Structure 1
Amino acid sequence: MTVDDNLAAVVGATAAVAHVALAVAVTVHVLLYKRSVGAAVSWIGIAWLSPFLGGLLYAIIGINRVKRRAQRLRRQHLLPAADDAAATVTRDSLTPLEYAVGRVTGLPSKPGNIVEMMHSGDEAYPRMLEEIGKAKSTIGLCSYIFRADSAGEKFHEALIAAQQRGVKVRVLIDGVGGGYFWSGTYNRLRKAGVPVARFLHSYFPWRTPFVNLRNHRKLLVIDGRVAFTGGLNIGAENVIAENPPHPVRDTHFRIEGPVVEQLTDAFADDWQFTTGEPLDDDWFPTLEPVGTVLARVVPSGPDEDMEQIEFVTLHAISCARDSIRVVTPYFLPGEPLTMALGLAAMRGIKVDILLPENSNHAILDWARRVPLRPLIEAGCRIWMMPAPFDHSKLMTIDDSWSFIGSANWDTRSFRLNFELNVELHDAAFARQIVDSKKPQRCLTLAEIDGDPLPIRLRNSAARLLQPYL
């Protein structure tokens, strides 16, 4: 055997040992820290079957390294005692939901709020810009997408003007959704002297383990008194009246009242996490009741001990006695949620799920066909909404409880993204949400069964990507 042969044998043996050691390390870490059986099996298989590459992928996107880097700014709120909580909500089938959400979030319900629904950027943008123009002390804006286009430029100008007149302005843009390689909004605001940051963003390979974790929240808080939240990003595609090439319908909300403090807390939390800067008391004025809606913020993210939005959704489904209505642009939830909806329909509850005919993610559209079939068999009604693409995220229970915010019905929103929803106890508002979406075409089993075999195989293959979509 030549020297070269000996060297090749040594290198091969060393590589094999290194691969086994790396795969064992990944396996141990997965077994200790991955709660999802499906994700655990997938990562272990990748680590063993893809030498070195599997371990590298797990190190980059498989490990949840997200920890709050500083003490949370959120002040400690005491949960209401059982008697106090019961006093804020009329005792009915949803009373247990009040207790459950309090236990999940650690936040109390806040009575005395006003919530106003707005459709797309046509209605929401002018109201948001008006409030920015009237701001006296603070503006906090967080957006997953914030484009430097005709719609975004109006926000640039309004934010720069507010900064110049002495308002404390803070802008947070997601490091991926806001443009990973280039963010015109970030550059524009930074050049103008507006404090702006990009959430979990870095160009350096050794500092990009968070590329799979995104801040999907959409939140604007003015003077700590008025807030806007929902599903609406900032971009020209959201202004339907201007006939953009790829129009997007959406639903956004203006909120005023005591619950705005919790929304400000959420923004302050994310800002401090990203920049290390705590926000001072100017951001948290004393708030008095201004309306009749009982509300509570439900934040969720990979830094939490549990998937709070997913858990609240499951609790809400279990408490339903008459109807469940879900509006979402993407539908690919985990097995517990799919089963909960099917069981609800089987016990006689009207379950309506409204989805866009075609979303802007084809793979998600393919994959959703698989879980929709058993839901239809269980008695759920699946309504397909025609173009333009509807990006709204809404849920109502028994026409009296609503869940609004940024979270889609998919694994990414429930377990990977930083999301922000708000629960609302108000029958009039729930009916307004129901009336805002008029379904037209009901998906049938015959239509799904009519898919040719290649399409069914494609859809089932896409479904296997659920943990990563």
Structure 2
Amino acid sequence: MWLLALYAAHSVLVLALALRSVYRPTNALAWVICCMFIPVIGLILYVVLARPVSIRRARLADDSSEESLALLSTPANSALRGLVGVEQAMSKLSGGTATHGTVRILPNGEETYAALFEALESAASSITAEYYIIRNDPVGQTFLSILARKAAAGVSVRLLVDGIGSLGVVRSQLPKLAGVGVDCRVVFPLQFPWLRPGINHRDHCKIVVIDGSIGYIGGINIGLEYTGHKPGVGAWRDTHAQVTGQAVQGLARVFELNWSVGRQVSAGRSSNRTQADRVQLLNGIPDYRPPTSRQADAIPALMQTVESGPDRPVRTVQALYFMCLTQAKRTVDMVTPYFVPDTDLTMAMKLAVARGVRVRLLVPEHCDHRVVGLAARTFFAELAKAGVELWLYGAQLLHAKVVVVDGALSVLGASNFDLRSFRLNYEVCQVVYGEAAAEELTKQFEADLADAHHVSVEEIQALLPVGILERGARLLAPLL
């Protein structure tokens, strides 16, 4: 009898869970399946992990600026006229309008670190840095050493990291940095009891702002693997950008939002060992020296910073990608390492093709996150049948996140094309309005296609069959 009562109670709780998440049916389904397979533990996980996170306060713009709309609508920017709606919608949803600036495209880790470290060394007044991953390796140690030395020299330095992505640095290096004057905070730190609200949410942003005038954004974290020289990882294909001008203020605004929810890190207790660590941090010889920075052209453009997070009523980055697909007139080129969209986005891709838009999707042939890679396979056949050109990249590990629309609008940043980025992470993207930047990113896309192969529906069914593992991974996709 007590087993029957326990089963009934569990059923009622699972039903309550489903009803509570009725406005997000795919998410509700994933949790119901989880609770069915691990009855008690599943409910406990839901109660802890599905609790809302703290709301980051932001001043949302009432409307797009008249200047930005006028510039996007001028004859010189005729290709952008049909995309003005993107700027208007993102101004409403994310709180930042398009502003003037320049952008330099950085196509790999070596060039990114060369430009970034050079700019950090020249900082005169302030440095704000936010990363999902900072490794405790030669690249990470070089980066942290620069921050420590600049803080000791009187520069205001603030460092914000994710509690899981940068776990090793959080435990071993941040107290030392705090001891030399770096203001350090951690978003969603891993602390006892380890199963805490927020543990399933991550700060996935990569933002650096130097002296309020130069910024960096993209897919590259701080670690040796991004240089392509880490043993066992191999070559790494990624995209980052250097931003200057008024557009940097958008990155600064997003940093302040995320800084507001970080937890302060205190300096380590004073001891001879701690003091020795601080001296080494300040005076140690860098283990990694990037090559000389390639002086790529700085491209003038209008830019808009778009952020999203689990505290937002609208999934802003998902809405951005949706608008790119629905507003496109001619072409959409998409690069992403992790492809697990929802029904709205797959429908938008199919409808874009039906309207005569050429949609090309470039994804890795071998995903470094196995479950995500399995889930991605379940989308390939239906998209290929609808006319989406699917390309599998096999030359290197693909980690870039870029969308180019009609050769006039570009999106690059930290956000992947998956449900975790849309629903669970703090994310940031930079929208670049202008043909010159789009042309450079399109050239990079075409170069990447040379190292990829196009797959037909027949090849997908033969080479990438959808089995039980793939279907199971897709069911759990909302929780990945």
TM-score by length of 1: 0.86
Alignment of 1:465 with 2:476, yes or no, is yes
**Equivalent residue for 1:105?**
94
The one-letter amino acid paired with 1:354 is: L
Instruction: Tell me which amino acid in the other structure corresponds to 2:475.
Output: L
Deviation at 1:292, TM superposition (A): 3.2
Distance (whole Å) between structure 2 residues aligned to residue 259 and residue 79 of structure 1:
17
Which residue of structure 1 aligns with residue 461 of structure 2? 449
What residue number does 1:130 align with? 118
| Equivalent position to 1:265, from 249, 253, 267 | 253
Kept in 2, the 8 Å contact 1:358–1:387? The answer is: no
Deviation string, structure 1 residues 262-291 (Cα, Å, up to 9, x no partner): 2111111111211489xxxxxxxxxxxx97
| Cα displacement string for residues 71-103 of structure 1 (whole angstroms, at most 9, x for unaligned residues) | x3x55655336x555312126221222222222
**8 A contact 1:201–1:208 mirrored in 2:** no
Provide Cα deviations, 1:363-410, integer angstroms capped at 9, x if missing partner. Answer: 222221111111111111111112320110000100100011000011
- Is residue 2:87 matched to residue 1:79? no
Partner of 2:412: 404
Counterpart in the other structure of 1:168: 156
After superposition, the Cα gap between the structure-2 partners of 1:139 and 1:23, relative to the gap in structure 1 and judged at 3 Å, is farther
Alignment of structure 1 residues 205-216 onto 2, 5 Å: 205=193, 208-216=196-204
Q: Structure 1 residues 429 and 145 mapped into 2: Cα distance closer, same or farther (>3 Å)? A: same
Letter in 1 for 2:472: A
Pair 184,125 (structure 1): closer, same or farther in 2 beyond 3 Å: farther
Counterpart position of 1:431: 439
Q: What residue in structure 2 maps to residue 4 of structure 1?
A: none
For residue 431 of structure 1, give the secondary structure of its aligned residue in structure 2: helix
Q: Which moved more, 1:214-223 or 1:172-181?
A: 172-181
Aligned-partner Cα distance in 2 for 1:468–1:86: 38
1:246 aligns with 2:233: yes
- Is 1:308 equivalent to 2:308 in the alignment? no
**What amino acid does structure 2 have at the position aligned with 1:461?**
G
Contact preservation (8 Å) 2:299, 2:437 = no
Distance apart, 1:251 and its partner CA: 1.0
Identity fraction in percent = 30
1:270 to 1:86, Cα distance in 2 relative to 1, 3 A: closer
Normalising by structure 2, we get a TM-score of 0.84
Alignment partners' CA distance in 2, 1:311 and 1:143: 24
Aligned letter for 1:382? L
Distance across 2 between alignment mates of 1:25 and 1:449: 40
Q: In structure 1, what residue type is equivalent to 2:53?
A: R
Q: What is the match of residue 271 of structure 2?
A: none
Bigger Cα displacement from structure 2, 33-42 vs 143-152? 33-42
* Equivalent pair of 1:257/1:291 in contact (CA under 8 Å): no
- Give 2:378's aligned amino acid: V
Matched, 1:203 2:191: yes
Stretches of structure 2 lacking an aligned partner (at least 5 in a row): 266-297
Question: Does the Cα contact within 8 Å between 1:230 and 1:251 map onto a contact in 2?
Answer: yes
SS in 1 for 2:252: helix
Q: Is 2:394 aligned against 1:386? A: yes
Kindly indicate whether the alpha-carbon contact (under 8 Å) linking 2:184 and 2:264 is maintained by their aligned counterparts in 1.
no
- Cα separation, partners in 2 of 1:347 and 1:77, compared to 1, 3 Å: closer
Paired residue for 2:83, among 94, 98, 104? 94
Instruction: Write the letter of the residue equivalent to 2:458.
Output: A
Q: Secondary structure at the match of 2:257?
A: helix
Structure of higher RCO (CA pairs closer than 8 Å, 6+ residues apart): 2
Gaps of 5+ in 1: 1-8, 278-289
AA aligned to 1:80 is S
Give the corresponding residue for 1:146.
134
Rounded Cα–Cα distance in structure 1 between residues aligned with 2:223 and 2:67: 43
* CA RMSD, Structure 1 to Structure 2 (Å): 2.5
* Distance change in 2, residues 1:177/1:359 (3 Å): same
CA distance in 1, matches of 2:24, 2:12: 19
* One-letter amino acid of the counterpart of residue 88, structure 2: Y
Aligned 8 A contact 2:14 2:35 in 1: yes
Report what 1:5 is aligned to. Answer: none
* Number of residue-to-residue matches in the alignment: 437
Aligned to 2:47: 59
Measured against aligned partners, the alpha-carbon deviations of 1:182-211 in whole angstroms (never above 9, x if no partner) come to 744435424544222221113222772211
User: C-alpha displacement at 1:155, in angstroms?
Assistant: 0.5
CA apart distance, 1:20: 5.0
